[in-house]
Each structure stands twice: as structure tokens, then as C-alpha cells.
């Protein structure tokens, strides 16, 4: 039930909440960023048809095409998209990763 509520909140996320999410992503170490980005991209690839056929999806695939996914902006966009596509799997990934990713998961839940 909690996952459905999170998904609804992500779908209606305000610009301020999105900015907060992006700021939180800046606190992740480079090593964690390089671990998370490919995993978040896999979550996004499993999206139901059409869910990422928007500006967010275009940005992600542009970054992937230019081999820039494992950057801060890549993490920010992938995190937003993965939360939209599959919040349960995204939180499981974050909570099973390095300490800074676990802190990120906790703070994301707080802002939502």
C-alpha cells in the first residue's frame, strides 16, 4: 500500500520536490553513483510502454546515447524516472546499496 502512495506522490511531484530530489542526489559518492546509474537504467528499461515517452525519457536516452548516464545529471534523471516506473524496486536497490544510497532513500521518503 505504501508503494502505491509513493507512486501517486511521484506522479504529482512539484517542481520544489523535484529540486529537493536533485539536491539529495548530489550527496551520493562517485562510487555509489557509478553503481546506481546502470541499475536505475535497467529499472527504467522495464517501464511499461509509454510511461517514459516524455521529456524525461528523451533526456535519459540522450544521456545514454552520449555515454553520460553515470554522471550527476544522469543519476538525477534516472532516479526520478525509476521512482516513477517502479518505486518498490528503486527503494529496494537504494536500501541494499552503500550507506549514502540508504540515506538517500530515507530522505526521498521524507520529501514525498
For residue 1, pLDDT beyond 60: no
First to last CA, the chain: 15
Average pLDDT over residues 22-50: 92
- How much is the pTM? 0.90
Classify residue 75 as left (phi > 0), alpha (psi -120 to 50) or beta.
alpha
Distance separating alpha carbons of residues 12 and 17, to the nearest angstrom:
10
In tens, the pLDDT along 47-105 reads 887 788 889 999 999 999 999 999 999 999 999 999 989 999 999 999 999 999 999 99
Q: How does residue 8 score in pLDDT terms, banded at 50, 70 and 90?
A: confident
Amino acid at each position: 500500500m505504501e508503494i502505491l502512495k509513493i507512486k501517486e506522490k511521484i506522479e504529482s511531484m512539484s517542481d520544489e520536490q523535484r529540486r529537493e530530489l536533485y539536491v539529495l542526489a548530489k550527496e551520493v559518492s562517485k562510487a555509489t553513483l557509478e553503481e546506481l546509474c546502470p541499475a536505475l537504467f535497467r529499472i527504467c528499461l522495464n517501464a511499461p510502454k509509454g510511461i517514459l515517452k516524455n521529456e524525461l525519457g528523451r533526456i535519459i536516452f540522450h544521456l545514454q546515447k552520449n555515454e553520460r548516464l553515470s554522471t550527476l545529471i544522469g543519476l538525477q534523471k534516472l532516479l526520478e524516472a525509476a521512482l516513477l516506473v517502479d518505486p518498490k524496486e528503486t527503494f529496494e536497490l537504494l536500501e541494499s546499496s552503500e550507506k549514502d544510497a540508504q540515506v538517500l532513500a530515507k530522505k526521498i521518503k521524507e520529501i514525498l
